């Protein structure tokens, strides 16, 4: 996918971590516009840290993050959201004490997203009818799967140019996992650019245009998603077969 197309997101030589602990070591990844890019790897490989660093919740130690050609390595999180880099975080992080509708409307707080909020709210309700049924309810009272839909819907309200979907199926029942992947397919069809981090490596690589396999904070392998799935080493080491 990279090559002639200019990547929307380009991470080069990125290192970061928590306190004295280094998690990411010299990471290079790219995401082409309109594509699904998957980050897979075991627990602790650094997927969530990478997502948080791209979103600006954790500072980058070295390297750079470019979005649409601009260097955003030092930009504040809310400025990145305003540029269209929207994280749907691991563990959903919905506001339990706000209603579903308030959660969604708050998703459109970035200045770039403040126009036509009601129309986008309608779009989001059309995509997730369950949220419409529950719009007056406190977000904390919903099931895990519903909260995941809310977290994605809240992200869509920000008019994302790239969606960072961090572990969207973590802790969900198998039927909800299927639904989440169906949503990802829909979003791709609608032209969204998605960076997806998943423990469910096979499912993620199968739908990904391009995939990166992370191990101990480094990119171990990369390539078009379906090709990675077919590599014998990948199957043996990462897909459990």
Partner 1 sequence: MSAQLLFAALVAGSLYALVALGLNLVYGTLRLLNIAHGDLVMIGAYVSFWMLSLFGLPPVLSIFVAAALCGGFGWVIYVGMFRKLLATPALAQRLEANSLILFYGVSVILQNCVALAFTSTARGYQYLNEVHKFAGIAASGNRLMLFGVALALCLGMLLFLRFHLFGWSLRAVIERRDAAAVVGVDVDRVQMVTICIGFAIAGVAGVLVSMTEQITPFMGFPFTIAAFVVIVLGGLGNIFAGIVAGFALGFIETFGVALTSATYRSILIYGLFVGVLLLRPQGLFGKAIKIR
Residues of this chain that interact with partner 1 (CB under 8 A) are 19, 55-57, 76-78, 81-82, 86-87, 89, 92-98, 102, 105-107, 109-110, 113, 140, 142-144, 147, 154, 158, 171
Q: How far is the CB of 38 from partner 1 (least distance, A)?
A: 21
Segment (H or E) for 214: strand 210-215
Q: How far is the CB of 120 from partner 1 (least distance, A)?
A: 14
Secondary structure (DSSP) of 26-67: EEEEEE-TT-EEEEE-STTSSHHHHHHHHHTSS--SEEEEEE
Instruction: Kindly report the length of the chain.
Output: 241
**53 or 201: whose CB is closer to partner 1?**
53
* C-beta separation of 182 from 194 below 8 A: no
**58 or 204: whose CB is closer to partner 1?**
58
**9 or 87: whose CB is closer to partner 1?**
87
Q: How far is the CB of 94 from partner 1 (least distance, A)?
A: 8
**SS3 call for 21:** strand
Q: How far is the CB of 93 from partner 1 (least distance, A)?
A: 4
Instruction: List, edge to edge, every strand of the sheet that includes 70-71.
Output: 21-31, 9-18, 62-67, 70-71
**106 or 237: whose CB is closer to partner 1?**
106
């Amino acid at each position: 996918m990279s090559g002639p197309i200019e990547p929307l997101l380009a991470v080069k030589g990125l290192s970061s971590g928590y306190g004295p602990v280094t998690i990411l070591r010299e990471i290079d990844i790219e995401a082409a516009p309109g594509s699904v890019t998957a980050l897979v790897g075991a627990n602790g490989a650094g997927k969530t840290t990478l997502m948080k660093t791209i979103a600006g919740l954790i500072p980058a130690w070295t390297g750079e993050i470019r979005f649409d050609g601009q260097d955003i390595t030092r930009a504040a999180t809310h400025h990145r959201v305003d540029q269209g880099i929207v994280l749907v975080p691991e563990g959903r992080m919905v506001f339990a004490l706000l209603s579903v509708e308030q959660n969604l409307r708050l998703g459109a707080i970035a200045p770039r997203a403040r126009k036509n909020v009601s129309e986008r709210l309608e779009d989001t309700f059309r995509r997730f009818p369950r949220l419409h049924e529950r719009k007056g309810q406190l977000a904390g009272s919903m099931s895990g799967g519903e909260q995941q839909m809310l977290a994605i819907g809240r992200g869509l309200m920000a008019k994302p140019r790239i969606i960072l979907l961090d572990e969207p199926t973590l802790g969900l029942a198998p039927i909800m996992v299927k639904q989440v992947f169906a949503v990802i397919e829909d979003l791709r069809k609608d032209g969204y650019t998605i960076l997806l981090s998943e423990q469910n490596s096979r499912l993620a690589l199968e739908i990904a245009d391009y995939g990166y396999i992370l191990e101990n904070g480094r990119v171990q392998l990369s390539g078009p998603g379906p090709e990675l799935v077919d590599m014998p080493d990948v199957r043996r080491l990462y897909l459990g077969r």
